[in-house]
């Protein structure tokens, strides 16, 4: 039996009223009873929208109350529960998706259609004139996030991830980390299907209207400063997770341990969430680089306009930061492990200081740029070019670039191997050739700089290269 539109609307309104009544009674109180009410409210929303066989998306008011708990909650349990519920809801009720995606995978004649639910609730409001952080004397009221509010969130995370402040952090620090992770998930859910649809249609409007593009293009955001802070956060979190030991979490004195038990729980949660934030930050930066690539294609085809503005590509900003902030050079290469873009950063770092190597082709009387990893390795084909590289970059940095570039190359999916190792002429470079070039580069470095010691990372790369050659020869 079907339920008429008016009856269904009344039923939804009745459910909303009953569920919101659970949390309205607690208000802004910071008591155990109030926190229990918030947890009961979250469970009620989950029961109606996730557990129920005919689950429906929460209403805007219900969504907003769940989001408010994440943004303003003070109890660790309710903060974590609200984040988990929001994550479940986004997976169950996506705002942007590709229809007929499964059919398109099995039938090449079927083109997936992009579906955008503009009426769906979103944690972002990028049309706001005033930031939610600015209203009410700067107090966070739990409303939607605008571009300036996102920038302020990033600035707060820089302080949170400072190694000296990690033990002084509280639930506010934890909820800001979770808030960022949730917002990146939202940006990804909006951007990925749009970018896939764009690649098939070359309709730049699909990406122009993406949350990511609107966020980065906002006049309320200092883009370069924002990206610099993002790199700092990712590298600091990596160093914290790598260096933070149990004895720093648990004090030896039993009285201190008892007094700080609550703080320790937050600290441990922060460290665990911090590992996930490193991955979320990498996703955020990778999406920006994908957007830069798509925009470059649109520029080439003449699909962009003046209103799209000009933004420095993310890879260039990373290169500048790696150049002038040596403290993040090694941490960045360690933590950023997306192979395609990591290899791109490594290769362009070489080009930045050494110039793009050129090769002659049978089809051309002149020379063309070999802008690949294979081409970058040719910088170490003789003593003269190697000496120039050492003078401009230094042997330690060169070793790190070679090792991480080689690791990224070996991790590349097969569909990206050709474009990362093929010269402009169209000829491809095999695994064995890359391995041979890596070994040759280290030999050339050793022959040029007699005082150079090969690092443990370098020895591992050489061993791997030699193993691959022996197995395939």
CB 184 within 8 A of CB 280: yes
Residues paired with residue 98 on neighbouring β-strands, in sequence order: 114
Residues paired with residue 114 on neighbouring β-strands, in sequence order: 98
pLDDT in tens, 13-50: 557 888 888 887 666 677 888 889 999 999 999 999 99
In this prediction, residue 14 carries a pLDDT of 59
pLDDT at 415 over 80: no
Mean pLDDT, residues 66-87 taken together: 94
Mean pLDDT, residues 164-185 taken together: 83
What's the chain's average pLDDT?
Answer: 83
Nearest-angstrom CA–CA distance, 87 and 80: 11
Mean pLDDT, residues 181-199 taken together: 96
Question: What is the token pair recorded at 11?
Answer: 């039923």
Burial class (CB in 10 A: 0-12, 13-18, 19+), 449: middle
CB 409 within 8 A of CB 343: yes
Mean pLDDT, residues 140-157 taken together: 89
pLDDT in tens, 247-282: 444 444 443 444 455 556 666 776 778 788 999 999
Pairwise pLDDT comparison (270 vs 442), residue with the higher score: 442
Q: List, as own/partner pairs, every contact residues 23-29 make where C-beta atoms lie below 8 angstroms and the sequence separation is at least 24, other chains included.
A: 23/65
Q: Where are the alpha helices (DSSP H) in 124-260?
A: 147-160, 171-201, 205-208, 211-216, 223-243, 246-249, 254-259
Per the listing, tokens 């940006």 go with 187
**Helices and strands: H and E segment counts in the chain:** 22, 4
Q: Which of 154, 218, 214, 224 is nearest to 190 (CA)?
A: 214
Mean pLDDT, residues 448-462 taken together: 93
| pTM, 2 dp | 0.86
Kindly report the number of other CB atoms within 10 A of residue 47's CB atom. 12
What band does 371 get if pLDDT is binned at 50, 70 and 90? low
In this prediction, residue 413 carries a pLDDT of 83
Positive or negative torsion for Cα 50, 56, 57, 62: negative
In this prediction, residue 102 carries a pLDDT of 65
Task: Give the start-to-end residue ranges of the domains of the chain.
Answer: 15-93, 94-100+112-125+142-246+265-337, 340-358+368-416+428-472
Mean pLDDT, residues 59-77 taken together: 93
Q: Which of 198, 160, 192 is nearest to 177 (CA)?
A: 160
Q: Which of 180, 175, 195 is nearest to 295 (CA)?
A: 195
pLDDT in tens, 216-231: 999 899 999 999 999 9
3-state SS class at 427: coil
Residue 168 CA: distances (Å) to CA of 2, 154, 224, 226, 252: 56, 18, 29, 24, 18
**C-alpha angle 400-406-409 in degrees, rounded to nearest 5:** 140
Q: Which of 434, 427, 428 is nearest to 468 (CA)?
A: 434
The least confident of 187-201, 267-281, 356-370 is 356-370
Return the axis-axis angle of helices 32-46 and 5-24, rounded to nearest 10°: 160
């Amino acid at each position: 039996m079907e339920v008429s539109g008016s009856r269904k609307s009344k039923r939804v309104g009745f459910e909303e009223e009953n569920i919101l009544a659970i949390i309205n009674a607690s208000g802004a109180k910071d008591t155990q009873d109030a926190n229990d009410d918030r947890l009961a409210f979250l469970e009620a929303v989950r029961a109606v929208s996730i557990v129920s066989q005919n689950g429906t998306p929460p209403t805007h008011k219900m969504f907003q109350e769940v989001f408010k708990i994440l943004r303003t909650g003070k109890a660790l349990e309710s903060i974590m529960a609200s984040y988990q519920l929001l994550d479940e809801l986004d997976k169950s009720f996506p705002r942007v998706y590709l229809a007929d995606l499964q059919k398109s995978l099995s039938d090449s004649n079927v083109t997936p259609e992009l579906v955008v639910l503009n009426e769906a609730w979103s944690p972002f409001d990028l049309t706001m004139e005033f930031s939610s952080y600015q209203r009410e004397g700067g107090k966070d009221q739990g409303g939607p996030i605008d571009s300036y509010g996102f920038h302020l969130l990033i600035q707060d995370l820089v302080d949170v991830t400072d190694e000296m402040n990690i033990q002084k952090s509280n639930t506010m620090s934890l909820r800001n980390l979770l808030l960022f992770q949730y917002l990146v998930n939202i940006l990804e859910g909006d951007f990925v299907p749009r970018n896939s649809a764009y690649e098939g249609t070359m309709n730049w409007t699909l990406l122009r209207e993406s949350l990511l593009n609107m966020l980065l293009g906002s006049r309320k955001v200092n883009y370069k400063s924002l990206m610099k802070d993002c790199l700092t956060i990712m590298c600091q979190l990596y160093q914290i997770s790598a260096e933070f030991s149990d004895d720093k979490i648990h004090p030896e004195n039993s009285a201190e341990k008892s007094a700080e038990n609550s703080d320790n729980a937050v600290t441990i949660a922060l460290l665990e969430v911090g590992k996930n934030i490193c991955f979320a930050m990498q996703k955020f930066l990778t999406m920006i680089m994908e957007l830069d690539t798509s925009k470059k294609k649109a520029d080439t085809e003449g699909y962009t306009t003046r209103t799209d503005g000009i933004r420095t590509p993310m890879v260039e900003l990373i290169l500048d930061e790696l150049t002038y902030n040596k403290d993040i050079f090694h941490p960045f290469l360690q933590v950023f492990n997306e192979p395609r873009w990591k290899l791109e950063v490594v290769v362009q770092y070489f080009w930045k200081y050494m110039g793009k190597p050129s090769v002659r082709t049978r089809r051309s009387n002149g020379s063309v740029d070999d802008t690949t990893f294979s081409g970058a390795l040719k910088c170490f084909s003789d003593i003269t070019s190697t000496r120039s590289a050492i003078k401009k970059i230094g042997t330690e940095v060169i070793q790190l670039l070679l090792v991480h570039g080689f690791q990224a190359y070996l991790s590349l999916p097969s569909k990206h191997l050709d474009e990362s190792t093929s010269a402009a002429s169209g000829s491809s470079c095999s695994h064995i050739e890359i391995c041979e070039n890596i070994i040759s580069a280290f030999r050339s470095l050793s022959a040029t700089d007699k005082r150079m010691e090969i690092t443990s990372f370098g020895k591992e790369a050489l061993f791997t290269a030699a193993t691959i050659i022996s197995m395939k020869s």
